[in-house]
Amino acid sequence: MSQPALSMAIRHLEEELGVTIVQRGHRFLGFTPEGERILAWARHSLAALSGLRQEASAAQTHLTGLPRVGAVPTAAGVMALLTGVLRVAHPDLAYGIQSLSSNEILRRVSEFELDLGPMYLDDVDAVGYRVLPLYREHYMLLAAATAPEAELDAVRWKDLAQLPLCLLTPNMQNRQIVNSAFRRESVTPFVVVETDSMSALLAHVRHAGLTVWRPGVCWMYPVRRRVW
C-alpha cells in the first residue's frame, strides 16, 4: 500500500471510530493512547481471523498456513525435530523460524506476531501463556578435537575460567545461565568472542581455537534446565 493510501485509510478509520489513532507531524510520531488500544484489538482480530482459517482447514483434515516461530538460539536447531514430524502429518504447512532473545519472543507472542516460541522460562511469569515442556538440557564443553580439553570426560565450572571462551551475548538467557554458574563458583570467565549465532560459536571453536559451553539436547537424563 502506498503512503497516501495508508494515510487515507487511517483517516477513514478515525472518522468511523471517532478517535485520533496516530500522532501527526512531518512524519509518523507514534500512536495516541486510543490508538494503542485500537492496535491491540486489531492484533487480536487478526489472530482470531488466522485461527478461524486454521480451524476451517483442520476441519477438512488438510492444514495449510505459515506458523511463525521465534526460538532462542540454543533451541533454533531443535525446531527441525518438530517441523520434521509436522511435515509428515501436514505436508502443506510452511514455517517461518527466527532466532530471537527470550524478551523479544515474549513480546512478539503477546502481540500475536509469533504463534509459538521455544525458550527458557526460568525467570519469566508464564501467566497468560500456554506452556508445554519440550526437553531438558545437558551442558557440555565443546572444544576442537586437538584441544587438551577434548580428552577430558568431565570438567568443573571453576576450572574453565582461564580457557578462551566463545559465548552467546549477555542478553541471551543461555548466557545468563552460564554466567550464574560461574558466579556460584566465584570465578570470572575469559570471554574472547560474544555472538548471538550458534553457527558462529561452532565456527570459532573449529577455526579459532576457542571453547564454548553450550546445551545439548538430552532426552533421558534428569538435569535441571528445561526449554519451553
Cα separation, 97 vs 116, whole angstroms:
10
| Cβ atoms of residues 105 and 73 within 8 Å | no
| Cβ atoms of residues 99 and 144 within 8 Å | no
| Cβ atoms of residues 192 and 95 within 8 Å | no
Nearest to 43 by CA among 98, 115, 101, 141: 115
pLDDT in tens, 21-38: 888 877 778 899 998 888
Instruction: Delineate the domains of the chain, giving CATH numbers in brackets.
Output: 7-48 (no CATH), 137-216 (3.40.190.290)
Spatial neighbors of 179 by CB under 8 A, at least 6 apart, are: 170, 189
Q: Is residue 224's pLDDT more than 50?
A: no
What's the chain's average pLDDT?
81
Neighbours of 100 (CB within 10 A): 22
**pTM (2 d.p.):** 0.59
Cα separation, 215 vs 142, whole angstroms:
10
Predicted pLDDT at 228: 46
Nearest to 69 by CA among 137, 134, 1, 124: 134
* β-strand pairing of 164-168 with 190-195: parallel
Q: Which of 60-74, 107-121, 170-184, 190-204 has the lowest mean pLDDT?
A: 60-74
Sign of the Cα torsion 119, 122, 125, 128 reads positive
Question: Mapping DSSP to helix (H, G, I), strand (E, B) and coil, where does residue 14 land?
Answer: helix
| Cβ atoms of residues 197 and 73 within 8 Å | yes
Which band of pLDDT confidence, cut at 50, 70 and 90, is reported for residue 58?
Answer: low
pLDDT in tens, 123-181: 677 777 888 888 887 788 888 877 777 777 888 888 888 888 888 899 888 888 889 98
pLDDT in tens, 168-220: 899 888 888 889 989 999 999 889 889 888 888 888 888 877 776 555 432 32
H or E element: which one contains 9? Answer: helix 3-17
Phi first, then psi: give them for residue 114, nearest 5 degrees: -130, 150
Predicted pLDDT at 61: 65
Cα separation, 168 vs 139, whole angstroms:
14
Nearest to 182 by CA among 200, 193, 170: 170
